[in-house]
Chain A
Amino acid sequence: MSVVIEQPRSPRSRKAANWEKYGWMYMRASGALLVILIFGHLFVNLWVGEGIKAIDFAFVGGKWSNPFWQVWDGLMLWLALIHGTNGMRTIVNDYTSKEGIRKALNIALWGICAVLVVLGTLVILTFDPCPANGIAANLPSFCPAR
């Protein structure tokens, strides 16, 4: 079995940090923040103005020229990916019966999470709204090439 439930009324052991407790707390803390971050994200990207129709490179370039949206999206990236991966870990722990498969799935989940967090963070931090390789018409209006 993947989850060991302690004997009731057994003395509390203080050998290791209680990671399950921290995970439980993280889901609630990040969840509360994500409600604000994601509803804000949906409002600005899908509701305001032309919604989905208006989303293109120039739209993203305009947003990420502002540190406010870089921080907003960076927070959303980290909190949501870790929240989602931890939720998937819970599901894997619930429904797998073979220890090897459970371990393999969880390693795959956290591996994917790490790759996407690093990728997304690098994209937000190294993003250039006016790249030289872009067709001028596709660039934000504040770019010199336009």
Chain B
Amino acid sequence: MPTKPAGTLYRGKVGMWSWVLHRITGVAIFFFLLVHVLDTSLVRLSPEAYNAVVSTYKTPVVGLGELGLVAAILYHALNGVRVILIDFWRKGVKYQNVMFWVVVAIAFIAFAGFAPRHLIHVFHLG
């Protein structure tokens, strides 16, 4: 009796969606990085110029955006470690599915710890 193919690493399921998420978060982080190098460069202009721009990072809208940024970085960093393990660890391919859910769990726990603290700072609740 012929057996069904065991499935592939990338088509459908966790393998593909983890890759899609990795791309989307990567692009988002890249565009933030461009802005972040420019805003930080203002320290070379004058303390007032830097403080004026960095104060926008403390507004509610941008403050919430920072939560999204941290979530994107958490996922991209941890899934990147998963990719390295798939490539270099003997059992990486075998455990890639489990490792994805470990990535999601660690990212979720770290985010749950960070978000309240950050929101307290942004909304002056402390």
Q: Hey, which bits of chain A sit against chain B, CB under 8 A?
A: 28, 31-32, 34-35, 38-39, 42, 46-47, 50-53, 55-58, 60-61, 64, 77, 80-81, 84-85, 87-88, 91, 112, 116, 119-120, 122-123, 126-127, 131, 133-135, 138-139
Contact = CB atoms under 8 A, between A and B. Distances in A.
A8 to B, nearest CB: 18
Interface residues of A, dominant DSSP: helix
Contact of A46 (B30, B41, B66, B88): B66
Given A28-B84, A39-B77, A123-B43, A88 B54 contact: no
A50 B121 contact: yes
A79 B56 CA distance: 27
B118 interface: yes
B80 A123 contact: no
Given A35-B77, A56-B54, A47 B46 contact: no
Contact of A123 (B41, B51, B70): B41
Question: In which size bucket is the chain B interface?
Answer: 35 or more
B109 interface: no
B57 A55 contact: yes
Most chain A CB inside 10 Å of its own CB: which residue of B77, B122, B126: B77
24 contacts: A28-B83, A28-B88, A35-B80, A35-B81, A39-B77, A51-B121, A52-B121, A55-B54, A56-B51, A58-B47, A60-B43, A84-B26, A84-B30, A84-B33, A85-B30, A87-B30, A88-B27, A119-B38, A123-B41, A131-B47, A135-B47, A135-B48, A138-B48, A139-B47
A120 B40 contact: yes
Interface string B58-101: 10000100100010010001001101100110000000000000
Most chain B CB inside 10 Å of its own CB: which residue of A56, A58, A126: A56
B120 to A, nearest CB: 8
